Copies of this chain bind each other. A is one copy, B any other.
Amino acid sequence: MTSVLVVDDEPQIVRALRINLSARGYDVMTAYDGKSALGVAVEGKPDVVVLDLGLPDIDGVDVIAGLRGWSTIPIIVLSARTDSSAKVEALDAGADDYVTKPFGMDELLARLRAAVRRDLARETGDPVVTTSSFVVDLAVKKVRRDGREVHLTPTEWGLVEILARNPGRLVSQKQLLQEVWGPMHVNESQYLRVYFAQLRRKLEDDPARPKHLITEPGMGYRFEL
């Protein structure tokens, strides 16, 4: 499970983030000032920090420095200041990203996913394919959804792997059957229906309305990011 530390002195922002992040399966910690933020970060070892710069006690840049002293946790800065000098300062202090308030929740979540993915890739050194619902690590052969690992059987993985290596492209039924089941089974299109149903149950937010594992009737399947 991926954990996020949210630091902001405005309770409504913390609340909004907590709700949105929890709903997506993240483990959320919070802090309302710089001092407690550093304490919580040491205690809880979050996977990523969302940090407001305008804190009551410590200057935001010093909070970044305080974190960077001992850790490389990704830091996403939130701030009302739009001038480039503020951005430059924060980024050079060690922040990974800078988002100006007011911000779109979608965008923040996407930047958060990017930060976590990058961090994961740093450990493994491997390319990772990300959608809004789940993450496929091709080299490690793991799929995570909202920070939780999803177990795939060999056949399921075979399908996901082919699709993830061809993001956005249509892959024919024949190609999938050939590569996963072998040349003897290129007409068993029923296999595909059964397995795509399983995969959607495991990976899609709403299995009945798939957003990523798309059927192209009569043609094949497509992996939408």
A62 to chain B, nearest CB (A): 7
How many angstroms from the CA of A117 to the CA of B68 in the assembled complex? 12
The oligomer's copy count stands at 2
**Chain B residue at minimum C-beta to C-beta distance from A105:** B84
Q: What range describes how many residues of A lie at the interface?
A: 35 or more
Supposing A96-B114, A154-B217, A219-B141 touch, asked if A106 and B85 sit within 8 A by C-beta, the answer is: yes
Q: Is A91 an interface residue (CB 8 A)?
A: yes
Stretch at the interface among A8-16, A35-43, A49-57, A162-170: A162-170
Q: List 7 A-B contacts (CB under 8 A).
A: A88-B132, A91-B107, A91-B110, A91-B113, A92-B132, A121-B122, A122-B125
**Chain A interfacial positions (CB closer than 8 Å to B):** 61-62, 65, 68-72, 74, 84-85, 87-89, 91-98, 104, 106-107, 109-111, 113-114, 117-118, 121-132, 139-142, 153-154, 157, 165, 167-170, 216-219, 225
